[in-house]
Structure 1
Amino acid sequence: MYKLIIVDDEEEIRDGLSELVDWTSLGFVVAKKLEDGSHAIRYLQEHHVDAVLTDVKMTYASGIDLAQYVREHKPDTKVVILSGFQEFALARDAIRYHVSHYLLKPTDLDEVANVFRQIAAELDEAARKRELDLRQSRDINSLRPLMMEQFFFSLLAGAPWGQNIEELQGRLRQSGLPVDPLNGKVSEMKAEWSMAHQAVQKNVDRHTISAAITKEKEQIYYTCIHVSDNRFVIIGSALVPMSEHDLLKRTEQYFMHVQNTFLSLLGVSIRLESLKLYEGLSALLESYHEQRDLSPGEPVTAEEEQTEREKDKDRIIIREAKQYIMDHFEMDLALTDVARHVGLNPVYFSRLFKQETGKNYSDFVISIRIQKAMEYLKDPFYKVYEIGHLVGYKNTKYFHKLFKRQTGLTPSEYRDQL
């Protein structure tokens, strides 16, 4: 049912219009009867109404004033004016504010019914159009990951429009990526995976991978491109200005999400091979062209590849976690606190920390604290029993036990050696 309000300063007319017209058969329900345009405006400020049937002459706010308010604030609401005056000025104002119909008193109820039957049809058509637009929008959103993937894949494969900035911008907008090709920062991750079962490999194709992991997060769009049997590239484009550190951090956080998703849903183990930042798509494109132009006679050696991996061993997120631990080592530092700081699930963070550092989280915290304790022991100002408290251990015996396990000496023996 569409909601209708009736506005007239004469109670008899309000009641008559409400009761003598079969509104239900027309698809309407009378939500409110009001005696002045000012009352109607206040009502419209707090309630949704599909149609207004109003007198033109009232005490404080006229039907024209009401039509003006509707035009400016509720443009989808239909307005029908009743008037005892066939004046050109009133009709002109009614047209200006897009009044649906201008009816003269005395009112013919059949004519009112015909007018609102037509309005109901118009509202039905508008509702159908909104539903169609919404469905199309959903279709576009569901296809956008594929459109983005195809865009980047074509770009990196050497599409002829890749060097045309205007066409490049047009393709970006079409893919939902309003990024300046020259200035919008772009991050690129290369990763590889190993299949737990051969059957999984057969069921994973380029499109399903892309659909599974492409999404918008914190004003960055990501897309995945399957470039070979066991390698893929994830490209993230920032839609808002942000620092290099923030973009790299958020991009790596996204990869951690992807990594966890692949493992839990597909049984696929993936690792991050490299993470780079480019000042725009043009720079990214140039990088790929340079890589493609390298002659086959200059392969990357295993030693060079190993060196590159060692350089990237500690990812941004793990470096940030380590720094957070070193800055707060003296506190009661729970794993959940550090995981929350870097934006990861605690269970996943624990597994990732071990994978990247080779140490359990608790072992790493102990090693940092003992290292700090060794520094304190070099200063005779500090008493041995005080140092345990300074590095986060309230139980002195437990501190001595951990110190000896790490160094082979008690704190006193270590100080004596110094």
Structure 2
Amino acid sequence: MHKLLIVDDEYEIRNGLSHYIPWNEIGFEVVGHVENGLAALNFISKHPVHVLLCDIRMPVMTGIDVARELSKQKSHVKIVLLSGYKEFEYAQQALDFGVRSYLLKPAKYTEIYAVFSRIKEELDENPPPTPSPPEAAFEKTIEEDDISTRAIRLIKKYIHEHYKDATLENAAKIVYLNPYYLSKYFKTQTGENFSDYLTRVRMNKAVELLKDVKYKTYEISELVGYSNAKNFTRSFRKYFGQTPREFRNMD
């Protein structure tokens, strides 16, 4: 039996794919099902896997990212991407990284059977080498810290570029997380709440603008995302211990 790993951030989908497709009849054994690309790479680094059935849009690390990383590592794992998105660019990127096939949700059993029957024939004719411990762990295994750093960097970049109207909900869309999970994730990775980081960016920008006398306080308030000048003054005083006017008159 060839070993299959299923990756999808929706439990119902990965559980359904794992249990309601007669994989053994096609020649595959489901050795695991995980919720994101990072978990998939970690699983592959520790267990033999011949084929990956992987969703494209997932939190933190997408299916395209997984394909890119496995391609970079010259992995023998064959990849079938599964997605509800029909944009050609996704399929094109998938082909660039050696992905074997691209299935659209909801994939029909006949389509899955055809794709995996073909892959089974390829594996039977050209069995992949048994990975040695160094190969199984990759010559350069991607670490969780690396992925976390990239995700946090994207979120911080979004805040710095859109501090005026940045929201947790919009930030969450960038890394494909729900807002509640992103809030916890950001706090865990940075030790700072999303809202506190946004406030810090806004306050530091306000300081820059206060040094330019052409801006009035209410104008600065609007520029850094406060529609109410009193709220801006209150936040500034809480953060710096003085009002914007006092700060400007310090010199």
With a CA cutoff of 8 Å and minimum separation of 6, indicate the structure with the bigger relative contact order.
2
**Structure with higher strand content:** 1
Normalised TM-score (structure 2): 0.50
TM norm structure 1? 0.30
Higher Cα radius of gyration: 1
